[in-house]
Amino acid sequence: MPSSDFWLAPHYVGWLLQGFWVTIQLSLVVSFAATILGFLVCIARLSPFVCLAWPVRAYLSLFRNTPLLVQLFFWYFGASALMPPELVQWLNTQHILQLVLFDVQWPSFEMLAAFVGLTIYTTAFVAEELRSGVRAVRKGQWAAAASLGMSSMQVWRCVVMPQALRNTFPSLIGQYMNVIKNTSLTMAIGLAELSYASRQVETETFKTFQSFGIATLLYVLLVMLVEVGGQCLQRHRLQVRGGLS
Amino acid sequence: MNVDVIHDNLLYFLVGAYPHGPLGGAALTLLLSVLSASLSAILGLVFGVALVLTRGVAHTTLLLFLGFFRAIPVIMLIFWVYFLLPILFKVDVPGLFTVVCALSLIGGAYLAHSVSAGISSLPAGQWQAGRALGLNTVQIMTSIILPQALPVMLPSFINQWVALIKDTSLAYVIGVAELSFVATQVSNRVMVHPTEIFLFVGLMYYVICATLELLANRVARRYDKHLRLDGK
């Protein structure tokens, strides 16, 4: 029964792979940006300055407790309504961004909204993971470092952060896996990533099993790759440092 | 800012077309989340206990099964249920069933690991004491282990519920009239105030989720204190 027309035509597989490429690009850029921003937000959250810590608390609580989909709708429909139409048009045309970020399809407004929405959402989670990593560093470590005459900057850089990063590493990997899965929501604002492509191929060919099957397989492969990569990195780092924790 | 659009459609945001049509809006979001939270709690318990009790090939198979559901995006699972089941079994799959099914499978896979971690965190003496009393594995599990482990796991069940409330918004992709879908409907109809509409809807989700998160933290703190007193 599985004859030659059981399989998808090559150009449909091409669509799926194109979508996959968009998913990979978006995941990479978002993970990178969210890690850096998450660091800054975590430091602001832990800072003794109330005027800094409270707005950050509000941000964390608000963006962690609303669905990503609604946030994406807000950035896509809501923000474009607030911006002058000329600006939206400008964002949608070819310009410098494409030159800097090699062929990332950046000029589309969907892509920008997806990037902004996903990054702001992920940053909130990364910051909280980092904070719990910092909190897990024992109080004695601070005291010991201070008694050695280290400045608070040195304590952060040489004592607390290395330990906090090691505590946070597994959950950071988990966050990167979530980013990959969350990119699928951007199909709702019309970004042609993997889920969008699979739905499109399904509507055109009626080959439900094949199109969703390939898309699912690609997602699982990518997520597993990140997980295994993370485990290898962690094992390697632990070996280099000579022992557990 | 235009609050009239919110005011005019408030009832629609809350209950959808009800009573002139099917239930929708925030009420449907809550209903969907309660249904899938209870189902995923049951699945999580069953899989979690199975994780603790199985060894060897069965254990690996279970791990792979759970790993699969943790690795795929919710949207892909919704697509599978919604578009493939009708082809395979020649049945019409309602959107509501699809969402509850997909969310409880994924929620269950996540909970299974926290259930198994919760059970494993109990001291081994509990098992030995049970054995010494002549109880079998099932009896030890139901009358000694679970009554101690479940209260400690309660916060992660509530947090899972919060995650599920946010995930019900994905029902949007197959046209189930929950809060996010209703919001885009209103936005498409009035055309001019998307910012206000999505801010308001975001706020509604926030109030629901933040309240539950507060509850989870309170419960967690209570058992934390409880456990620490036990330890002394």
Report, as ranges of residue numbers, the positions in chain A whose pLDDT lies below 50: 1, 242-245
Distance from CA of B167 to the nearest CA of A (A): 7
Q: Which residue of B has its CA nearest to A223?
A: B71
Residue owning tokens 């919710």: B74
Overall residue count recorded for chain B in this entry: 232
User: Would you state the pLDDT for residue A103?
Assistant: 56
Q: Does the CA dihedral A203-A204-A208-A213 come out positive or negative?
A: negative
Q: How confident is the model at residue B87 (pLDDT cuts 50, 70, 90)?
A: confident
Q: How far is B142 from chain A (nearest CA, A)?
A: 32
So what's the pLDDT on residue A241? 54
- Residue B212: its pLDDT value, please? 92
Q: How far is A105 from chain B (nearest CA, A)?
A: 23
Q: Do B80 and A82 touch (CB under 8 A)?
A: no
Instruction: Tell me if ipTM is over 0.95.
Output: no
**Tens-digit pLDDT profile for residues B44-54:** 999 999 999 99
* Inter-chain residue contact B194 with A212, CB threshold 8 Å: no
Contacts of residue B99 in chain A, CB cutoff 8 Å?
none
pTM: 0.90
Which carries the bigger pLDDT value, residue B63 or residue B220? B63
pLDDT tens string B62-80: 999 999 999 999 999 999 9
Interface contact flag, B172 A69, Cβ < 8 Å: yes
The whole-angstrom separation of Cα B23 and Cα B6 is 19
| B85 in reach of chain A (CB within 8 A) | no
